[in-house]
Chains A and B, each alone.
Chain A
Amino acid sequence: MTTALFVSQLLNGLQLGVILFLVAAGLTLVFGVMDFINLAHGVQYMLGAYLVAVGVRLTGHFAAGLALGLLGALVMGFVLEILVFRYLTRRDHLEQVLGTFGVILIVTELVRIAFGDAPIAFPMPQALSGSVALFPGLNYPVWRLVILGVGGGVALLLWYLVNRTRLGMLVRAGSTHPQTVSALGVNIDRLFLVVFAFGAMLAGLAGAMAGPLISVEPTMGDKILIIAFVVIVIGGIGSIKGAFIAALLVGLVDTLGRSMAPDLLKLMIGKSAAATAGPALSSMLVYLLMALILCLRPNGLYGGRSA
């Protein structure tokens, strides 16, 4: 494996990591504040990609479409919270899993009815569709660099919001001592509404960022949801810092594993065996990582609260 290939795989891994972080951040915050397990979070990611695609088509301009789409994702977050999720927050986890599973089915089918099963075309701004030479022998797509930049920026912003603002303080306090915060006169339901809608928008942003790279289809949310859960479980549910580290870890392990595991296996067990075992092993690596980490630390890397 050449240096150029390795560096580009490393960047791909980090880029997958920040997308995972955008999805996982909302998931872990909502769990932290309200002890709420939201399977329908993948649906927000899918909706984000669709809404941005529609926004761009309506306005004919990428930036305006992106803004419109993200606003739509935020509104959808509010709508879902008000219609369904606020009634689920004080239920046990089993009922939450079930209720949000129902929401997945409903929203996915509605999208299917509106847009069909087939992937839709996702517009990408002309200026960002090329590639740049990072160093001789490595041309890297601009869009992927944009994702890294945006993801990194959002991570910094989140860090600031959570650690340096009053709202963030409430979120942090709410995730460890919800009763105390509530007793001090904070409306924890409204806090949840805000955090939830914000998380939905972040997931939507992730969907829009990933849109040009993957196929935008009704089931795209299912694929990322499970990985996003792996991320928050590895990081420790409720911990933003854990989610960030775990997202990068999972992104790197998955991407590098897929490109390197077949070669490594070839050295160890021979070519033909590696050809069959390789794809399975590289798809499994992330789950193996999770099983290993949970085996050693049953509450995740930064799990403060046992759930």
Chain B
Amino acid sequence: MLRAVLPRPALAILLVFVAALGLCHALGFPHGATLIVRTTTLALAAVSLSFLIGQGGLVSFGHAAPLGVGAYAVLIAGEFGITNILAVLALGAGAAAVFSALTGTIALRTRGVYFIMITLAFAQMTFYVAASLADFGGDDGMAIAARSTFFGIKFLKSDTALALLAIVLLALALALFGRLSASRFGLMLRAGKASEAKLAALGLSPYRHRLIALAVAGAVAGVAGVLLANQVEYVSPASMGWHVSGELIVMVVLGGLGSPAGAVVGAVAISLLDETLGHATEHWRLGLGLVIVAVVLLRGRDLKAVLTGGAR
């Protein structure tokens, strides 16, 4: 029955992540659950960006913005006493979707580098808006009131529970984007990416599809933001800085374009790099930079291709 809902890569990722979680639990490695939540959250955001770039050719350099909007939804809702996870998830996803669609109506007027830059500009604007919310921490950000609950039950108190929720949501997102890519909707996005002129000659415009794709990807990034805020229990403007957007792009490209499962691999790789190098030296970004440059220069050998032993 599970197979009917989840495509094979999503199922595989679900199982691998749950197994990793179980292993950490069995080996008495409590930090593992924290790491898995973080990785899964980043993977969720990366998968949504991978959908935009891979299917629609929409290279957003501001994908940290909907992520941050989702995180702020947790903070602000919490201040008003709303902590139910269902409500918070709906608020985070909804706010991020509305944000992405509104900025999308303007950003989609542009193409290529201009699109990259205007999405960056919108993310920067959001960053400054967040930094000016004096009631919600301003520049420094602030701690959330409490982790989300389920009708009063504090089932997300442990990182293990949070990790399970995140993994399930990631699998669902993979299934959603898989379905969307396989549908007529995905075909329109890919056709628009391949040649807008040819589509126009057929009397078709991919504008509506692109806008919806932006909104859906934004909503999923918003969900990632909700999870992230719950894990860290702290929300700050830094979560939508342009470095975060850059790292999300790195994950997508590192894992191989056009494959949502690849984005998960990219997110896992970056997280592990952060975790290992980051503990060994405070200058771990040097290593990250070297990896990125090496991957880009050795084109065609993305991580997935290296892992499966074949070139693209």
Contacts and interface: CB of A to CB of B under 8 A. Distances in A.
A91 B299 contact: yes
B144 interface: no
A230 B121 contact: yes
A104 B116 CA distance: 18
Interface residues of B, number: 44
Contact of A287 (B125, B289, B293, B296): B125
A276 B139 CA distance: 12
A93 B59 contact: yes
A87 B297 contact: yes
B112 interface: yes
A99 B53 contact: no
Interface stretch (B78-86, B127-135, B152-160): B127-135
B292 interface: yes
Contacts of B114: 233, 237, 294, 298-300, 307
Given A94-B253, A288-B125, A294-B114, A105 B292 contact: yes
A88 interface: yes
Interface string B50-83: 0001000001010000000000000000000000
Nearest to B296: A99
Contacts of A294: 106, 109-110, 114, 118
A189 interface: no
Interface stretch (B40-48, B170-178, B280-288, B303-311): B280-288
Nearest to A306: B111
Nearest to B257: A94
Nearest to B103: A291
Interface in A87-126: 87-88, 91, 93-95, 97-99, 101-110, 112-113
A112 B121 CA distance: 27
Interface in B176-202: none
Bin the interface of chain A by size: 35 or more
A37 interface: yes
Given A105-B285, A226-B242, A97 B110 contact: no
A213 interface: no
B106 to A, nearest CB: 5
B36 interface: no
A105 B114 CA distance: 23
Contacts of A112: 283
A280 B106 contact: no
Nearest to B61: A97
B13 interface: no
A84 interface: yes
A307 B296 contact: no
A291 B295 CA distance: 33
B122 interface: yes
Contacts of A37: 113, 116
A283 interface: yes
Given A108-B285, A279-B132, A294-B109, A97 B116 contact: yes
B250 interface: yes
A75 interface: no
Majority secondary structure, B binding face: helix
A47 interface: no
Contact of A283 (B61, B113, B128, B289): B128
A56 B285 CA distance: 29
Interface in A267-307: 276-277, 279-280, 283-284, 287-288, 290-291, 294-295, 298-300, 306-307
Given A233-B114, A288-B125, A98 B253 contact: yes
Contact of B109 (A31, A229, A295): A295
Contacts of A284: 124-125, 128-129
Given A94-B253, A109-B285, A99 B111 contact: no
B246 interface: yes
Interface in B259-291: 283, 285-286, 288-291
A84 B293 contact: yes
A86 to B, nearest CB: 11
Contacts of A99: 292-293, 296-297
Contacts of B14: none
Given A105-B289, A280-B132, A284-B125, A233 B117 contact: yes
B91 interface: no
A110 B289 CA distance: 11
A62 B114 CA distance: 40
A148 B93 CA distance: 48
B299 A95 contact: yes
Given A97-B61, A102-B250, 13 more contacts: A93-B113, A95-B296, A97-B249, A105-B285, A106-B289, A113-B283, A229-B117, A287-B128, A290-B118, A294-B114, A298-B111, A299-B114, A307-B114
Q: List 8 tightest A-B contacts by C-beta distance, closest first.
A: A280-B132, A105-B289, A102-B292, A106-B289, A109-B286, A99-B296, A102-B293, A283-B128
17 contacts: A97-B59, A97-B61, A97-B249, A102-B288, A102-B289, A102-B292, A102-B296, A107-B289, A109-B289, A222-B242, A276-B132, A283-B131, A290-B117, A295-B109, A298-B109, A298-B110, A299-B110
Interface of A: 31, 37, 39, 84, 87-88, 91, 93-95, 97-99, 101-110, 112-113, 222, 226, 229-230, 233, 237, 276-277, 279-280, 283-284, 287-288, 290-291, 294-295, 298-300, 306-307
Interface of B: 53, 59, 61, 106, 109-114, 116-118, 120-122, 124-125, 128-129, 131-134, 242-243, 246, 249-250, 253, 257, 283, 285-286, 288-293, 295-297, 299
